[in-house]
Structure 1
């Protein structure tokens, strides 16, 4: 995995957005997608809010995805493997970049056809513990007509990132505004943040 960790960090240092196209193995991506779809079919996923616990609201005109928060203590094998991978990446990030990350939070996210998330920053105004954002995609056979791209607002211009299966995207939560463009098919991911406590 060190190759994929280096790939993310090198591209992050060069372009402010780190990308690894094969961060998740095919098997792990498939298992996580199955978990997400099971939660969705059982109506366990809920409409995502805007803001944190102190100031939380729901506005479908800004954000319309459904989410389910992952529990690090869950005995699900795929989620255990996922958190092991994240912990390994955090250890590598701290050793090579002195990032000081000591916690994380992740949720499944599903954008149904016709949904989106307007331009925003990930770090809250009232809470600066989110240091890095990570998005890991679970969309097999994604095509350009499917929509749902990640649009990142860089100082040098717009960056459009396809939500392709196994891909990981990594950037500073306080720096880059971004949005999820209108999706024409169901769009699945695991989204989360590396934090300082």
Structure 2
């Protein structure tokens, strides 16, 4: 039997009006929540990626390069970087590329490329409050999270909580429902993942700008 995640391309066209609404939301409040953007088939195929033997999950850490460390008291998710080798991954990356081009046309953000990974949260794990990029110190400018959890109930936990720039007031608390895509300015919103009471699946990603002035592309953040 063919593997649906690795042999069948899946995609759904995104209307221009959706890109307009996304751009408006980013300008007005710095984040957007889009439900059912990519279609049920792609969400199902991406969820199947977690069970494929090609995906070698590793415990996520904090910090970069020599400062990188495993800290289970801060985050407990396991990740696998997306390279685009399967039909599902390729379709997802193609959709994110379409979104990149659409935002650059509307907002002139200079988004250069996109990196992403599958994120698996075992029961009881979380990710404490953090920011994806510090002002002036990272080339990550726009964060995305796509959720892959069907029939997620309020008592299942695992919500994404967005805070104001001071990290004091809650701006939004979002259930990780299947098909929901959250997009937000990386430097502006501290956020956390509350403890999951059932296994939680998502795709986390970041649009980057090329801050290197030598003509070379910055390495992944």
Supply the distance in 2 between the matched residues of 1:90 and 1:16 (Cα, whole angstroms): 16
Q: Once the two structures are superposed, what CA deviation does each residue of 1:106-132 show, in whole Å capped at 9, x if it has no partner?
A: 000010100000000001579411010
Question: Is the 2:135–2:187 Cα contact (8 Å) retained in structure 1?
Answer: no
TM-score (ref. length: structure 2) = 0.82
> Is the aligned partner of 1:26 residue 2:40?
yes
> Is the aligned partner of 1:5 residue 2:47?
no
Secondary structure of the equivalent of 2:184? strand
RMSD between aligned residues:
1.8
From 139, 143, 164, give the equivalent of 2:149.
139
Supply the distance in 2 between the matched residues of 1:104 and 1:54 (Cα, whole angstroms): 23
Once the 2 structures are TM-superposed, how far is the Cα of residue 154 of structure 1 from its aligned partner? 2.0
TM-score (ref. length: structure 1) = 0.91
Structure 2 residue ranges without an equivalent (≥5): 1-13, 211-221
**Superposition pairs for residues 1-197 of structure 1, below 5 Å?**
1=14, 2-39=16-53, 44-72=56-84, 74=85, 76-123=86-133, 127-154=137-164, 157-158=169-170, 159-197=172-210
Supply the distance in 2 between the matched residues of 1:111 and 1:16 (Cα, whole angstroms): 26
Secondary structure of the equivalent of 1:132? strand
**4+ residue segments displaced more than 6 Å:** none
**Structure 1 residues 180 and 14, CA gap change in structure 2 (3 angstroms):** same
Q: Once the two structures are superposed, what CA deviation does each residue of 1:122-165 show, in whole Å capped at 9, x if it has no partner?
A: 01579411010000010111110110000111259311011111
Structure 1 residue ranges without an equivalent (≥5): none
| Bigger shift: residues 155-164 or 104-113 | 155-164
